[in-house]
Amino acid sequence: MNDLGTVASSELLTPEECLGLLSASIVGRVAFVGPHGLVLRPVNYRVVDGTVLFRSSSAGALGDLVGHRDGVVFEVDHHAALAPTGWSVLVRGACSVVSDPAVLASPGLEALVVWASDATDLVLAIQPDEVTGRRVGVHRRSEASGRTSQVDRVDAPCRGCRVRRSVAT
């Protein structure tokens, strides 16, 4: 427990939980080692049969991922805006160009947009070699301690901004 009366927790997710969270999101990040070091790019994506699919331009950095000898990492996460909880899922694997007409006709794939360019001549796939995930959170102090925490205090430091703080009482 910390001075605010809260306890941080971390829980490993099962592969099934990871796939469920991955399938429910639409924006993730592709990480790889480029010629000048680590590169991280946001992408719109879909999961089809356990494979992460996204569009890119063959002229861009993501187009260079095909056959990347070190593989790539794909990450998606979520954190609650007004609560200290969240999760993260990592997919490690190789990247390849999708040419199978059945996969290219998958529902939702046509709606994927490349943010940095109008060119979408490639559909890329990350076939997972490893999928891992973690759920994290901060919880109230145990009632057994005789003290509780007030989690509902909300401060408004700027218009439209809301910051939730845990305060021990």
The more confidently predicted of residues 10 and 82 is 10
Q: Rounded to whole angstroms, how far apart are CA atoms 81 and 83?
A: 6
CATH number of the domain at 110, please.
Answer: 2.30.110.10
The more confidently predicted of residues 120 and 65 is 65
- Residue 94 located in a structural domain: yes
Q: Rounded to whole angstroms, how far apart are CA atoms 151 and 168?
A: 9
- Residue 165 located in a structural domain: no
- Residue range 18-56, pLDDT digits in tens: 999 999 999 999 999 888 888 899 999 999 989 999 988
pLDDT of residue 6: 67
Residue 52, domain extent: 8-140
Encoded tokens for 24: 């429910």
- Residue 100 located in a structural domain: yes
- Residue 15 located in a structural domain: yes
What's the number of domains the chain is made of? 1
**Helix (H/G/I), strand (E/B), else coil: 98:** coil
- Residue 156 located in a structural domain: no
- Residue 26 located in a structural domain: yes
- Residue 113 located in a structural domain: yes
Detail the DSSP E strand segments found in 98-158: 122-140, 149-155
Taking the CA of residue 85 as centre, how many other CA atoms within 13 Å lie in the half-sphere pointing to its CB?
A: 8
* Range of lowest pLDDT (42-46, 51-55, 81-85, 162-166): 162-166
- Residue 58 located in a structural domain: yes
Torsion, Cα of 109, 111, 116, 121 (10° steps) = 50
